[in-house]
């Protein structure tokens, strides 16, 4: 094989690799919340309706029923516990379905042609 043919094949292979790398992952909006995984290298993303998931947590129900004031220490503690509970449920739901990233619905700016699933019901079931 000539040096020119080898160089052309290498350049073509690099271009194909670069194209495949660009196709992986998704682009998220500024301020997005990633519940599990990473946007940079995902190939099977999913979203959840955060309001529905939040409403199903014990902590949010307690905040609402007791009228816990936003910004108070109690509010912050309950919100931290709630977020950890949601992240754990999202991680469990994602692992069961082979999903490698979960974000809130509306946080994906560009899905880059990937199919995005809604796993809200599965996350609520895992709470």
pLDDT for 107-123, tens place per residue?
999 999 999 999 999 99
Q: Is residue 109 domain-resident?
A: yes
Q: Is residue 1 domain-resident?
A: no
Q: Is residue 43 domain-resident?
A: yes
Q: Is residue 13 domain-resident?
A: no
Instruction: Write down the pTM of the prediction.
Output: 0.80
Q: How far apart (Å, rounded) are the C-alpha atoms in residues 79 and 61?
A: 11
Q: Is residue 89 domain-resident?
A: yes
pLDDT at residue 19 greater than cutoff 50 = no
Cβ contacts of residue 29 below 8 Å, gap of 6+? 106, 107, 108, 109
pLDDT at residue 69 greater than cutoff 90 = yes
Total of domains in the chain: 1
pLDDT at residue 14 greater than cutoff 60 = no
Please give the residue range of the domain that contains residue 114: 25-126
Q: Is residue 101 domain-resident?
A: yes
pLDDT band at 104 (very low <50, low <70, confident <90, very high): very high
Pull the structure tokens for residue 47: 């979203």
The CATH code of the domain that includes 100 is 3.30.910.20
Q: Is residue 62 domain-resident?
A: yes
């Amino acid at each position: 094989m000539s040096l020119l043919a080898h160089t052309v094949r290498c350049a073509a292979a690099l271009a194909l690799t670069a194209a495949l790398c660009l196709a992986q992952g998704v682009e998220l909006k500024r301020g997005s919340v990633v519940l599990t995984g990473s946007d940079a290298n995902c190939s099977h993303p999913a979203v959840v309706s955060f309001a529905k998931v939040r409403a199903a947590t014990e902590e949010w129900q307690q905040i609402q029923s007791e009228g816990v004031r936003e910004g108070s220490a109690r509010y912050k503690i309950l919100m931290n516990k709630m977020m950890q509970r949601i992240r754990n449920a999202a991680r469990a739901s994602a692992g069961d379905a082979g999903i490698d990233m979960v974000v809130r619905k509306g946080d994906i700016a560009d899905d880059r042609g990937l199919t995005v699933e809604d796993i809200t019901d599965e996350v609520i079931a895992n709470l």
